[in-house]
Amino acid sequence: MTAGFGEICQLGYVVPDLDAAVDHWARVFGVGPFFVSSRVPYAEVHYRGAPSDAEIAVALASHRGMQVEIIQQVAGGPSMFSAFVDRTGGGLHHVCALTEDLEGDVADWKARGVDVLMGGTTTAGIPFAYLDTDPADQGRVLELVQPSPGLKRFFDKIDAAGAEWDGVTARIDLG
């Protein structure tokens, strides 16, 4: 059995200060604009099999078709985000690939001994799973997302904004 996954479309950084990270990526790397959401609304989320009330802020930008995602946990209890920042101080945490069959892919990984570290569904109905592929916290967690047509359009918008970025506006606040 092979545990495959689609093309990596995103590098996910978990940080203690989202604003400082967005500023760094825009000023130093020339990546922007970042689409910033002060809170990702979850319908349900679990961490290591138990319900989680973690709340996160997220910033997304695209550099030549590769998304840079910056995540800061802003409220709630234990999660893989808070655990990662506590252990490492922050940094590259995961890579993301899109899938058309999240449930099937998760079952394939489970058959190989890899469980879901954290997963759930957004209020927009988008299922996701972060696989427990990196117990040493070295930036090798695999996130799988089963995108809706709306999420694909949003990702296209991020790509277009990155390709046309004026180099000035570092962030677009989504609320």
Q: Between vectors from CA 144 to CA 153 and to CA 10, what angle results, nearest 5°? A: 60
- Secondary-structure class of domain 8-163 per CATH: alpha beta
**Contacts of 97 by beta carbon, 8 Å cutoff, 6+ apart:** 5, 6, 7, 8, 9, 142, 143, 144, 145
CA gap 156, 65 in Å, rounded: 9
User: The tokens 């800061």 sit on which residue?
Assistant: 72
pTM score: 0.94
Residues 172 and 36: beta-carbon distance below 8 Å? yes
Contacts of 109 (CB under 8 A, 6+ apart): 3, 115, 131
pLDDT in tens, the chain (175 residues): 455 678 899 999 999 999 999 999 999 999 999 999 999 999 999 999 999 999 999 999 999 999 999 999 999 999 999 999 999 999 999 999 999 999 999 999 999 999 999 999 999 999 999 999 998 888 899 999 999 999 999 999 999 999 999 999 999 999 8
* Residue 92: burial class (beta carbons within 10 Å; 0-12, 13-18, 19+): middle
pLDDT at 2: 53
Per-domain boundaries in the chain? 8-163
